[in-house]
Chains A and B, each alone.
Chain A
Amino acid sequence: MGLIDKIPAYLEKTPGGGILMTPLNWAVNEVKASSLWYMLFGLACCAIEMMATGASRYDFDRLGMIFRATPRQTDLMIVAGTLTLKMAPRVKLLYEQMPEPKYVIAMGGCTVYGGPFYHDGYSVLKGVDKIVPVDIHIAGCPPRPEALMHGCIELQNMIRQEKLGQKRDRPGLRHMAAGTTRPSGLIVPDSMRIVQNA
């Protein structure tokens, strides 16, 4: 009954079973947030960090996130890496092929604003939010797996605040910057701190 204790619900026990009453809004949001399947594609070096996050050491599975190799089965697109102008229409097509509800994470400096290619990158799209709506921006070049997981948890928290029947593209919910702050669970031990000699 550990889960039952945590949810906002009323449980009435009857012989042979029980009746669970809970807000539909909560149940729908919890289902959406607990199985964010992300699309399996990477564009540049951020994809290496995304692979590391998906592998056993950081383990995306414990957030309920597993990769799918087709846009038809995904809820989340993690744009991981430099997006070139030639690739941009393809990424937009992939986004349009995803079923609703769909979310986008812009991972790394290149997808946020162009990154190191901001001045000299003639072929780089300066920010993936120019072609698809972005829910979470994650800073870093590339972001560490902790930062990516922090962004995903922030996205789950955003999903839990959604209302039923609410139009999701309203401004305010999107374009929230997350991951720019330090993940709260990340503690640097004293042995790893850089001590500056005076």
Chain B
Amino acid sequence: MKRQDFHRKLTERWPETGLDEDCENGLVVPVEAIHDIMQLLRDDPETECDYLDFITAVDHPPEHMHVVYSLYSLGKQHRIQLKVIVDRDAPTAPTVSHLWTNAEWNERETYDLYGVVFPGLKDPRRLLMPEDWEGHPMRKDYLHANLASKPD
């Protein structure tokens, strides 16, 4: 399936689904429907996206943060990327860790580096940084005492 086929399939139930202009294989989907969309893409025999590549986020200050999901179908060999746009001050997206087990660590990493909270995640600790770390390093406005100033 191509992106247009995914788009056509999703707009039947979620008409606000749009094409992602930044990514040639991406769709922008509403954040409140992400759980149902993921369930459909995984279980529908036409899409059959049984493999979750990764979850990550992209920081777009000052207002938005994008959470990106990449899905792949091992049987049908097609790939689709879904993007949800969340509020940067309180980024929240529902967890999908009960659909794919590896989403658990991906979501922990995304929380660790970007501060996106995934309600429903069983173990929402940090993954990479030390547990007592403050802040989320991949945000564009991140500052830390360990960062040295660059020479002009």
Q: A residues touching B (Cβ–Cβ < 8 Å)?
A: 85-86, 114, 118-124, 126
A-binding segment of B16-24, B34-42, B91-99, B141-149: B141-149
B2 is an interface residue with CB less than 8 A from chain A: no
State A118–B149 Cα separation when bound (angstroms): 9
> Which residue of A has the minimal Cβ distance to B130?
A86
State A118–B142 Cα separation when bound (angstroms): 16
Interface of A is mostly: loop
Q: A118-B148, A121-B147 are in contact. List 5 more A-B contacts (CB 8 A).
A: A114-B148, A119-B150, A122-B144, A122-B147, A123-B129
B30 is an interface residue with CB less than 8 A from chain A: no
Inter-chain contact B148/A122, CB cutoff 8 Å: no
Q: What's the least CB distance linking A105 to chain B, in Å?
A: 24
> Which residue of A has the minimal Cβ distance to B131?
A86
Contacts of A121 in B (CB 8 A): 146-147
State A122–B112 Cα separation when bound (angstroms): 14
State A120–B142 Cα separation when bound (angstroms): 11
B137 is an interface residue with CB less than 8 A from chain A: yes
Contacts of A86 in B (CB 8 A): 128-130
Task: Count how many pairs of residues, one from A and one from B, have CB atoms less than 8 Å apart in the complex.
Answer: 25
- Interface CB pairs A-B, < 8 A, 12: A114-B148, A118-B148, A119-B149, A120-B147, A121-B146, A121-B147, A122-B144, A122-B146, A122-B147, A123-B137, A123-B146, A124-B146
> Which residue of A has the minimal Cβ distance to B135?
A122
State A121–B146 Cα separation when bound (angstroms): 7
Contacts of A123 in B (CB 8 A): 129, 137, 146
Inter-chain contact A85/B146, CB cutoff 8 Å: yes
Q: What's the least CB distance linking A33 to chain B, in Å?
A: 37
Within B97-152, which residues are at the interface with A (CB < 8 Å)? 128-130, 137, 142, 144, 146-150
Given A122-B137, A122-B144, the answer on whether A85 and B130 have CB atoms closer than 8 Å is yes
A-B residue pairs, 5 tightest by C-beta: A122-B144, A86-B130, A119-B148, A119-B150, A122-B146
Q: What's the least CB distance linking A127 to chain B, in Å?
A: 12
Contacts of B128 in A (CB 8 A): 86
Inter-chain contact A122/B150, CB cutoff 8 Å: no
Given A85-B130, A86-B129, A86-B130, the answer on whether A126 and B147 have CB atoms closer than 8 Å is no
Q: What's the least CB distance linking B134 to chain A, in Å?
A: 11
Q: What's the least CB distance linking B109 to chain A, in Å?
A: 14
Q: What's the least CB distance linking B73 to chain A, in Å?
A: 35
Contacts of B150 in A (CB 8 A): 119
Inter-chain contact B142/A122, CB cutoff 8 Å: yes
State A121–B142 Cα separation when bound (angstroms): 12
State A122–B138 Cα separation when bound (angstroms): 10
Contacts of A120 in B (CB 8 A): 147
Residue from the set B128, B146, B147, B150 with the largest chain A CB neighbour count within 10 Å:
B146
